[in-house]
Amino acid sequence: MSGHFAAGAGKLAGLISRALGWRPDDFWNATPAELAAIFTAGEAVEGQPLNRTEFDRLLERERHG
């Protein structure tokens, strides 16, 4: 594993922990497909990144089941 990958993965783990309330173990046990699904869920158009408004809506929906 390269140092470049490790640095990027560490940053992503931190962001996901804050945004989704995941523990480090949740992140490291998630598959790439699960991570991709989180950031493309909802009404995101294929090929376009998830915008902040949609991300906030998904977080709110997750908090309230």
The pTM score is: 0.43
Q: Are 16 and 6 in contact (CB under 8 A)?
A: no
What pLDDT was estimated at residue 42?
57
pLDDT digits (tens, 9 = 90+) for 7-63: 888 787 788 778 888 888 888 888 888 877 777 765 555 667 777 888 888 888 887
Q: Are 27 and 13 in contact (CB under 8 A)?
A: yes
pLDDT bucket at 65, cuts 50 / 70 / 90: low
19-36 core/surface letters (b: 16 or more CB in 10 A; e: else): eeebeeeebeebeeeeee
* Amino acid symbol at 3: G
Mean pLDDT in the chain? Answer: 77
